[in-house]
Amino acid sequence: MSNPLEQFKIKKLIPLDLGAVDISFTNAALFMLIAVALVLILFIVALRNPAVIPSRIQNVGEIFFEFISDLLKEFLGEEGRKYFPFIFSTFIFVLFCNLLGMLPYAFTVTSQIVVTFGLGISIFIIINIIAFVRNGFSFFSFFLPSGVPMIMAPMMIFIELFSYLARPVSLSVRLTANMIAGHVLLKVLAGFVIMMGLTSGWLPIPVVSILIGFEIFVAVLQAYIFTILICVYLSDAVHMH
């Protein structure tokens, strides 16, 4: 059986150096570009000839649109409309990267902590900019809940600040860990299919098929959870909860 972690290895496809900086085009960059291209193709085709009675592809695009629209309305109300492009782009990118990783011989971009952390820290910075634009320096009151005794203020500020700064880490680690765990499990079990088939007949095949279906569900679920958390953080920044 091959190493189940081999599938997460970053490989240089086009070696490039900018002085002492390695800017090589890798398999991770390739599959991110493929994900973006597939998203563009989907929505260009879906919105090219919109009809009152939508086609199947238009219906798929509208389902994504309505899902994110309803999510923003739930967390931010009507004010959430202005943040729709930000949330929608993030959700659809993570979703397609997760699902692409389920294809045979594909690379799971979201299994790389450098990718998910880069995405998480970028979102964290954007949300903080929105918070300061909306609330000014009163945003710092977020770290000291009202009604806290002054003697406990230093400890509460430390706890709130630590948990706040941990947000991009929790976003990235949760997504990466779930993608790695699922793919490693599938790789290990797939390696035993032939061996088990010799003694158990066709039994391993439906078992692995069920696990693949479950992993696809996890890929969709993790994109949903990632987006939910962004909406929660954005709601905190806008409404100062």
179-197 pLDDT, tens digit per residue, is 988 888 887 777 777 666 6
Residue 51 pLDDT greater than 80, yes or no: no
**Is there a domain that residue 68 lies in?**
yes
| Number of Cβ atoms within 10 Å of the Cβ of 74 | 12
**Coil, strand or helix: which one is 11?**
coil
**Is there a domain that residue 1 lies in?**
no
Count structural domains, the chain: 1
Per the structure, the complete domain to which residue 162 belongs is given by 6-239
Is residue 98 exposed (0-12), middle (13-18) or buried (19+ Cβ within 10 Å)? buried
**Token pair 């091959």 is at which residue?**
2
Per-residue burial over 129-165, b if 16 or more Cβ lie within 10 Å, else e, is ebbeeebeeebeebbbeeeeeeeeeeeeeeeeeeeee
pLDDT on residue 2: 67
pLDDT in tens, 112-127: 999 999 999 999 999 9
Give the residues across from 12 on adjacent strands. Answer: 26
